[in-house]
Amino acid sequence: MNTEKNVASAATAIIGQKVLPGREREFESWQEDLNTAAAYYPGFLGAEISPPTPLQPDWVIVYRFNSVAHLQAWINSGTRQTYLDAGAQYFDGPATQQVVSSGTRSLDPLVTVVVTHRVRPNQVDDFLDWQRRMVQAESRFEGFRGTELFRPIEGLQEDWTTLYRYDSAEHLEAWLTSPERQEVLAEGEKFSDFELRTIDNSFGSWFAFEGNGREKPPPPSETRTSLAIWVGLYPTVVLLTLALSPLHLRLWIGLLVGNLLSSFLMSFLTMPYYVNPLLGRWLRRPPDEAPVRSDLRGLGVVAATMVFWAVVFYLVTVRFWTLP
């Protein structure tokens, strides 16, 4: 059992949001669009959204990135702020947010509790001692499956965050209402100002801090990404083939060189200066734009662009010039 982690690897943000009655469906659609936007940010591993449950009264959104820096870039991004401004009409009060970062293994689906404490610098040692007593007490209860303690993350979160897990809601409830827990809480009275959030077992893999817990981006993102790469790859490969053809390279070496050059061109030229400006509005749809209209316009741009390149390369390679 690990009681303290401070490993700079994958990072997870757990966001709770109360939603105005009657606006749940609109909120969920808005949140799905926001998660889609997050998928285009560096280091994105997954995003999930879940409606309230008997264990958790708020909507819960979880983002997972491959580093704290990448998570922080998304959390503080202008894109996210634009969406939040548009989605404020659905919110019933401010959101809560906890961030954890660790290199631990993926978890089985369990009931997870997230507890955050604001600890003064001169009380850290006392807090750690108190947390060790808490772990000793809770570990004696049936169904306990482990706990982890995460230090504050500079520039992103000032709180200490504790995750502890039980195999069922019943076993968790037994611990939360136990005299033993109340006794330990009384011992740490100066740390009694805390926030507790319970997350049921449908969220098990969200706390996987290695690649085996990775979630795929939403399907629309996969489709748009594939089409965007296609738009950039086709002219890049054809132009490289035309440029290398006078060298009369054998197939194996020609593909080796061509793939290397196309990788660099796609990364540093084609995508940032051609594809992203061309399809950026479709890839990162503004929150106030209708999804159907955006998709139709984006697909139209893709189709028109590919027809243009097909005609150009047909004329160049068939009508005006034939490859040697």
User: Is the pLDDT assigned to residue 108 strictly greater than 60?
Assistant: no
Using CB atoms within 10 Å of the CB of residue 77, give its burial: 0 to 12 exposed, 13 to 18 middle, 19+ buried.
middle
Cβ proximity of 3 and 132 under 8 Å: yes
- Domain 10-213 sits in CATH at 3.30.70.100
User: Is the pLDDT assigned to residue 313 strictly greater than 70?
Assistant: yes
pLDDT at 324: 55
Cβ proximity of 258 and 240 under 8 Å: yes
Q: State the amino acid at position 276 in one-letter form.
A: N
pTM, two decimals, is 0.44
pLDDT at 138: 87
Within 13 Å, how many C-alpha atoms sit on residue 290's CB side? 4
Which residues in 251-298 belong to E strands, given as ranges? none
Spell out the domain ranges in the chain: 10-213, 219-320
Residue count (the chain): 324
Question: What is the percentage of the chain residues whose pLDDT exceeds 90?
Answer: 12
| Pairwise pLDDT comparison (244 vs 114), residue with the higher score | 244
Mean pLDDT of the chain: 78
User: Is the pLDDT assigned to residue 306 strictly greater than 90?
Assistant: yes
Q: How confident is residue 66, by pLDDT bands cut at 50, 70 and 90?
A: confident
185: number of Cβ within 10 Å: 15
User: Is the pLDDT assigned to residue 266 strictly greater than 90?
Assistant: no
